[in-house]
Homo-oligomer: A and B are copies of this chain.
Amino acid sequence: MDTGGMATGGTATGGTDDQVLADLREVWRMRAFEEKVRELRLAGDAVGSIHLGIGQEAIAVGAAGLVRDEDAVFATYRGHNWAMACGVAPAALFGELLGRATGINGGRGGSAHLTAPAHRFFGENSIVGAGAPIAAGAALAGRFDGSGRVALTVFGDGAMNQGAVHEAMNFAAALNLPVVFVCENNSWSELTPIEEMVRDPRLHRRAAAYGMPGERIDGNDPAVVRERLGAAFAVAREGGGPTLVEAMTARLVGHYIGDAEQYRRPGELDEARRREPVVVLGDRLRAAGVGEDVIDGAERAAREEMERAAAEALAAPLADPANVKEHLYV
């Protein structure tokens, strides 16, 4: 992970071994889910553009425990990890990606437009940057409903150049809204490197333009994410308004399933694989003396869970067009 010469906020205390193992299990659940999705997509069971967050799981895993019942999470098309972090059942997600009646949105959302309000997941968004102002609105609602809601919105490095994100950050800062802006900086926007699209790639520094705190953190370590995002949540809950957290990570796969990834720099992926969450957490557990069987068990359990969930989804009926016109209006 290139922190661009900046001090990386947060120290990887690592938490207790239990927490590290729990994190690894969660990372593996997301990883196994998405690897199964890839398999289903390549087999033609799932169709269309599907964006995986493989390699970026630590951010969602670190955030998960911070999100309270009253909070609201807004993600992008690369949002499977976040839906899972919010507790959406894998079978309902598989169902959605497979166009099944049992999908979390009955097939209406698909991979890129999932929504699960009952799980505090107010959805993915497939328009780059568009979720940021919507999240600001969720935070605004909290000012009047007595909930104390914090809204978390996540987007990529490339989204920082979109007008809506700028407006949302200024809006949240000016109105002092409890929003946590999480920029998952995976250094690529589709097939284009962020460093060619900005003069100063230290994106967290843009927070200063809005008079809000901003920091860059290691986005491959759930413990760091938990601590630093936790600080941002605390600021928000205490009435301190928004924060921008730039979480450095790497997308270990293509922008979408099928991406030939010809744009990769030599050695880029090899290096990224040495620093990815599974490695970070596995090494930490090994250093703490946790056995390989336990570590491997996290993967095994996750894969088994996802096989079952996928099978369940595949067995469900396709979304029924009979009701396809419903719910357009009240």
A residues lining the B interface (CB < 8 Å): 161-164, 166-167, 170-171, 173-174, 176, 196-200, 205-206, 208-212, 241
Residues of B contacting A206 in the complex (Cβ-Cβ under 8 angstroms): 209
The 3 closest A-B pairs by CB, nearest first: A163-B163, A199-B211, A200-B211
Residues of B contacting A198 in the complex (Cβ-Cβ under 8 angstroms): 170, 173-174, 210-211
Q: How far is the CA of A176 from the CA of B177 in the complex (A)?
A: 34
Q: How far is the CA of A241 from the CA of B198 in the complex (A)?
A: 13
Known: A162-B163, A163-B166. A196 touches B208 (CB 8 A): no
| New A-B contacts (19) at CB < 8 Å, excluding given A161-B174, A173-B198, A209-B209 | A161-B167, A162-B163, A162-B167, A163-B167, A170-B198, A173-B199, A174-B196, A174-B197, A174-B199, A198-B210, A199-B210, A199-B211, A199-B212, A199-B241, A200-B209, A200-B211, A205-B208, A205-B209, A208-B209
Residues of B contacting A166 in the complex (Cβ-Cβ under 8 angstroms): 161, 163, 166-167
Q: How far is the CA of A241 from the CA of B208 in the complex (A)?
A: 22
Q: How far is the CA of A208 from the CA of B207 in the complex (A)?
A: 10
B164 touches A170 (CB 8 A): no
Residues of B contacting A163 in the complex (Cβ-Cβ under 8 angstroms): 162-164, 166-167
Q: How far is the CB of A121 from chain B (nearest CB, A)?
A: 26
Which residue of chain B is the closest to A241 with respect to CB atoms?
A: B199
Q: How far is the CB of A92 from chain B (nearest CB, A)?
A: 35
Q: How far is the CA of A45 from the CA of B198 in the complex (A)?
A: 49
Q: How far is the CA of A196 from the CA of B197 in the complex (A)?
A: 31
Residues of B contacting A197 in the complex (Cβ-Cβ under 8 angstroms): 170, 174
